[in-house]
Structure 1
Amino acid sequence: MLDNRNTLLVTWDFTEVSENALLHAIKLSRNVENNIRLVNVVKPGNQVLLKEAEEKLKKEILRIKDQYKVILDSIILEGSLYSAITTYIKDSDVNMVLMGTHGIRGIQKYIGSHALRVIVGSEVPFIVVKDKPTNMDRFTDIVFPIDFRSENKEKLQWAIYLGKYFNSKVHLFKAPVSDSSLLKKVNVNLNFAIRFLIQNNLDYEINTASRSKNFGKEILSFASDINADLILITTTKYITIFDYIFGAPEQYIIDNASRIPVMCVNPKSSFAKMEQFMIGR
């Protein structure tokens, strides 16, 4: 969806969860007409490991092409996953990244202690998945949480992008706030979303969370109740050491027990470009 970017990057470590991420990429590519590229990251300076990875990945590409009847390519990067992925994305044609995981602990085992840093450091969205797609044809229901933060507007472009290709219903899930100034901001974000969803002829529904539990738990409970295909969130803009130790708010959403895929959008996009896209100029 980003200008001149048409590749879905799948983090690949030869595990079942990587295969699950690939299946989600195949699902997306069939509709958005993006290329698929597997990326495997190896430690730098070890030519034996590099050669082994190249041979192993070459065999996997042949298997995948034969099994799923798709066209794809691959790349092997040297370095830590964080630095390798973020650096590669900056100068590539990657539109979004798909990552399979057993959960936050699984990501940390795969990436290291700075798991969230990889996602937040990227200039393109990550879709984090645990299981295979339940439906290979549609993202029928997308949960779009709305709170008082201005960054809510930045993820709207991706809801519209997916909604247009998959004929999705966007469930606007409004945070319950009592403070009048915060409520005003929530309603501004809600009305902004409604405006552009209507202009793009997308089906939507408005729901408001109760006050029985925190907003994160309400989001997951609602998403589970409607059997959502995707939860769309904005990542924490500034990750601190405390977020790495105690967990940023989005970690709770990503690691949901219902195993619903989560799209993480970083608050870095251009509002000007976004508005042009959303009103179809």
Structure 2
Amino acid sequence: MSQRIFIVPHDLSSVADKALNQALHLSKSIDSKIILLHIIQKESEKENADNYLNKIVEKNPSVPIDLIVKKGSIFTDIGKVADENKASAIIMGTHGAKGMQKVFGSFAMKVIISTSVPFMVIQEHTILKDFNRICFSIEATSESMQIMSLAGNLAKTYNSKIYIIAEKEKDRKIAIKIKNNLTILSKHMKKIGVNFHLELLENKSSWVNTVQDYAAANSIDMFAYSYDSDRFLASNDKFSQSLIFNESHIPALIINAKKITASTYF
């Protein structure tokens, strides 16, 4: 099994430290390396960033940590660095969608739709723990199914159980498509030997609230989601942002369904 590489974008904040701690925690179970990435606007910022990040490396000698400090844009260079290093995942902390970001899309969403690498978002108040229960919802679309292999491999690596949910549809054609997708998912999870549970849920208010209520009732440790970046105003997709910034502070693992290029990351 090849070494996993986790990219942790670090803006020298406590939230970025939280994302790093998550990467370190994941690295305990598998052979992995962490790349701390700091994007600067001016060359004069490099020395301060190098000093700060080198102290982090010194405090964590048990896991290989490389540093990259480069001038550029977080919206393009995070994805480029991840692609260049064949990263398994980008693990980034976020303060949440605030103010005008809610209208024009959060910083996290803008970065997510720029890369083919899976993106794990850690909130400021996320509690560090194992991913024993992973939940993802599917629709009638093929794009929503793109998360299947990634979630399955993640569950297999960390011995997790997957909870696969979908909305009970009244439209017969849509219901049939969802049923077919669930059948495909069931066969795949059985084939790779992953413990899973399938469930159709009544949507009593909004699907976002239904999913989050289900997560709370079933002690979900991570959301996984396949994001269709072709949607209108993709970075403002309400469901995606609601998962990323959920009030329970559950980590969210997102892939861009239109850019995913490989089925195995973890």
Shared fold (TM-score greater than 0.5)? yes
2:53 counterpart letter in structure 1: L
C-alpha deviations, 1:130-188, integer Å up to 9, x for none?
A: 145442xx311111212111023211111111111111111111112111111111111
Distance in 2 (alpha carbons) for counterparts of 1:192 and 1:106:
41
Deviation at 1:64, TM superposition (A): 3.4
- 1:263 corresponds to: 253
Structure 1 pair 38–203 and aligned structure 2 pair: CA distance change class (3 A): same
Residue 236 of structure 1 contacts residue 250 of structure 1 at CA under 8 Å; is this kept in 2?
no
Decide whether the 8 Å contact of 1:101 with 1:107 is kept in 2: no
TM-score by length of 2: 0.89
* 3-state SS in 2 of match to 1:182: helix
Larger CA deviation: 180-189 vs 81-90: 81-90
Letter of the aligned partner of 2:11 in structure 1? D
Deviations 1:55-85 (Å, cap 9, x if unpaired)? 22222221333xxx33211111211101211
Q: Are positions 1:39 and 2:37 aligned together?
A: yes
Distance 1:90 1:168 in 2: 27
Corresponding position: 1:251 with 2:251:
no
Q: Work out the CA distance in 1 between the residues paired with 2:168 and 2:154.
A: 26
Give the counterpart of 1:55 among 51, 54, 61: 51
Q: Which runs of 5+ in 2 are unaligned?
A: none
Where do residues 116-265 of structure 1 align in structure 2 (5 Å cutoff)? 116-130=109-123, 131-135=125-129, 138-238=130-230, 240=232, 242-244=233-235, 247-265=237-255
Structure 1's unaligned 5+ residue stretches are none
Q: 1:103 to 1:221 in 2, by over 3 A?
A: same
Counterpart of 2:30, as a letter, is: V
Aligned with 2:80: secondary structure? helix
Contact 2:79–2:117 under 8 Å retained in 1? no
**CA RMSD, aligned part only?**
2.5
TM-score between the two structures when normalised by the length of structure 1 = 0.84
SS in 2 for 1:178: coil
Q: 1: CA distance between counterparts of 2:65 and 2:101? A: 27
1:82 alignment counterpart: 75
Identity over aligned pairs, percent: 24
Q: Contact 2:93–2:121 (CA<8 Å) still a contact in 1? A: yes
Partners of 1:113 and 1:186 lie apart in 2 by 30
